[in-house]
């Protein structure tokens, strides 16, 4: 039987979204059912085809994506599409975290394949909703910010944990309630359905950010680093996006940010 981490790599390379979703669920199920041997899986040239992505959506700068006013049907579709695109990227991010880094405990790989399965579910929920609105994934453009940070941190699992789940994905904890508030003002059936899907995503993303926090601190302890001081080093070194208020402090606390970290956000 193939190593579950190589299942993750195979899913990561797939370009068709529905095939990627199916392969991701299968990889996560195999990881739950079978222990992963501790042996390294990385080989020379294995980054070929990473990440697998469809030709569409067209990837553009973050400033060039379509306007997403929720007060028109097309604007709501663009908004749902933008979240759908984030979740597609999040599948790749979780699969990459599970495959890329040799030398971590089995629990680490189990965590990230579970996250990949949950991100695949989020993508499916959003894509089905988008199709119900008369659109498909790829009909609008999307930006590449999440994968750009994945590339920057591809040689350092500590930097990956610091800057993808507990920085970029944590921004989703802050943004989701603001998006939901706009959609509730619209109060159409499709907007209400989108809010319900975002409730599921927010619940799960608290757990995903928590996994990032846990492994970041585990790695800092293993390497004798202060988590708060080293985070600042990594944040500057890799030019992470600036953290901007308002912050969802309750969700961040549930995701394992410490009181000291939350107080620092309040002071910014």
How far does Cα 224 stand from its chain's mean position?
A: 27
The structural domains of the chain, with segments of one domain joined by +, span: 4-37+49-267
Q: Can you give the pLDDT at residue 56?
A: 94
Q: Count CA within 13 A, CB hemisphere, residue 174.
A: 14
**Nearest to 208, CA basis, from 242, 255, 172:** 255
CA separation (Å) from 11 to 30, 31, 87, 145? 13, 13, 15, 21
Choose among 85, 240, 219: nearest CA to 152. 240
Q: Looking at residue 268, what is its pLDDT? A: 64
* Count of C-beta atoms within a 10 Å radius of residue 154: 15
Using DSSP's 3-state secondary structure scheme, residue 243 falls into coil
Whether the pLDDT of residue 198 is over 90: the answer is yes
Could you read off the pLDDT of 96-119 as tens digits, one per residue? 999 999 999 999 999 999 999 999
pLDDT at position 143, please? 85
Please report which residue ranges of 35-188 form alpha helices under DSSP H: 73-100, 106-132, 145-152, 157-163, 170-186
The conformation of residue 144, written as its DSSP 8-state character, comes to: -
pTM above 0.85, yes or no: yes
Measured at the alpha carbon of residue 184, what is the angle toward residues 181 and 190, in degrees to the nearest 5? 125
% pLDDT > 90, the chain:
85
- Among 85-94, 144-153, 259-268, the range with the most confident prediction by mean pLDDT is 85-94
For the domain bounded by 4-37+49-267, which CATH number is listed? 1.20.1260
Q: pLDDT for 120-138, tens place per residue?
A: 999 999 999 999 999 999 9
CB-count burial class (<10 Å; 0-12, 13-18, 19+) for 181: exposed
């Amino acid at each position: 039987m193939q190593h579950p981490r190589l299942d993750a790599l195979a899913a990561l390379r797939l370009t068709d979204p529905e095939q990627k979703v199916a392969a991701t669920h299968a990889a996560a199920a195999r990881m739950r059912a079978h222990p992963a041997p501790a042996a390294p899986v990385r080989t020379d040239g294995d980054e070929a085809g990473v990440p697998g992505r469809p030709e569409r959506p067209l990837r553009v700068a973050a400033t060039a994506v379509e306007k997403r006013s929720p007060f028109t049907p097309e604007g709501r579709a663009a908004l749902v599409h933008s979240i759908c695109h984030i979740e597609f990227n999040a599948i790749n991010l979780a699969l990459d975290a599970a495959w890329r880094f040799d030398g971590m405990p089995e629990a680490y790989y189990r965590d990230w394949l579970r996250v990949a399965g949950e991100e695949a579910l989020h993508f499916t929920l959003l894509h089905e909703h988008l199709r119900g609105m008369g659109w498909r994934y790829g009909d609008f453009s999307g930006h590449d910010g999440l994968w750009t940070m994945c590339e920057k941190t591809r040689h350092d699992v500590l930097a990956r944990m610091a800057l993808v789940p507990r920085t970029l994905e944590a921004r989703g904890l802050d943004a989701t309630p603001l998006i939901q508030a706009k959609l509730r003002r619209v109060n159409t059936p499709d907007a209400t359905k989108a809010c319900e899907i975002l409730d599921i995503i927010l619940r799960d993303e608290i757990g995903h950010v928590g996994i990032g926090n846990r492994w970041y601190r585990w790695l800092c302890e293993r390497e004798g680093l202060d988590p708060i001081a080293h985070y600042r080093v990594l944040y500057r070194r890799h030019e992470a996006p600036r953290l901007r208020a308002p912050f969802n402090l309750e969700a961040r606390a549930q995701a394992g940010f410490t009181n000291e970290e939350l107080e620092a956000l309040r002071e910014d």
